[in-house]
């Protein structure tokens, strides 16, 4: 799905019971991600790491929800394997997994491989991931092939960037991590800098002479 597309208010059966997506999300941020199939090795590591890091997502007011084209009983049985793989998960598995065995949501949310999108009986979901804002719009998407597992640290990093840039007139440069310098947005006028960034802004002199690289730790 494209950036700023509105996620539909779908109904789904999940391992945590039936949901209406907007009611489930509420005023939180959301992370909706698909995996190719239950009882597969890479997917087991991914959902396990998401579960282990669930407290980090909670700190950021982000709710997690997974999806694949498997039946609900399959998801429930698989959860035991995931918990066994990640022994530092305590208690109940922390987020719901959507059962989409008819592939209706996978089609609606554009989560199927281009080569398999017309095979609604056997087509597998790719590793699609959508970060959704409280306004129900897609703020970021990541699409990985089945062979490549996602990096949870990178997902948390981009959430930190999205949430910061949503409230401050800044952008985050390449390889940014929380606590390092951000960039002042080009649409911010010089006369606005003292009020927006009272602790100061550094300007990088570029060969072109155009002043467009301004950085700050004041956020």
The residues that are catalytic are: 43
Report CA 100 to chain centroid distance, whole Å: 19
Radius of gyration of the chain (CA): 20
DSSP 141: E
Q: Please name the helix (run of DSSP H) or strand (run of DSSP E) that holds residue 74, with its range, or none.
A: helix 72-85
Distances in Å between the Cα of 49 and the Cα atoms of 10, 16, 19, 23, 24 are 26, 19, 24, 26, 22
Closest CA to 193 of 180, 184, 182: 184
Q: Say how far apart CA 218 and CA 115 lie, in whole Å.
A: 47
| Number of separate helices (H) and strands (E) present in the chain | 7, 11
* DSSP letter string, 202-217: EE---TT-----EEES
Report CA 205 to chain centroid distance, whole Å: 35
């Amino acid at each position: 799905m494209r950036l700023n597309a509105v996620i539909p208010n779908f109904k789904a059966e999940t391992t945590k019971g039936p949901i209406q997506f907007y009611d489930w999300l509420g005023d939180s941020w959301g992370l909706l991600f698909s995996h190719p199939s239950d009882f597969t090795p890479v997917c087991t590591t991914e959902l396990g790491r998401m579960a282990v890091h669930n407290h980090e997502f909670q700190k950021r007011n982000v709710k997690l929800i997974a999806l694949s084209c498997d039946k609900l009983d399959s998801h429930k049985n698989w959860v035991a394997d995931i918990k066994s793989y990640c022994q530092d998960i305590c208690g109940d598995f922390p987020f719901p997994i959507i059962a989409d065995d008819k592939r209706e949501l996978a089609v609606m949310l554009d989560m199927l491989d281009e080569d398999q999108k017309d095979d609604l009986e056997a087509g597998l979901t790719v590793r699609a991931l959508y970060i959704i804002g409280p306004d129900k719009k897609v703020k970021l998407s990541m699409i990985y092939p089945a062979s490549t597992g996602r990096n949870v640290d990178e997902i948390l990093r981009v959430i930190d960037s999205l949430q910061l840039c949503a409230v401050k007139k800044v952008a985050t440069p390449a390889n940014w991590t929380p606590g390092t310098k951000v960039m002042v947005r080009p649409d911010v006028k010089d006369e606005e800098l003292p009020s927006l960034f009272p602790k100061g802004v550094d300007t990088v002199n570029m060969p072109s002479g155009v002043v467009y690289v301004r950085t700050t730790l004041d956020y």
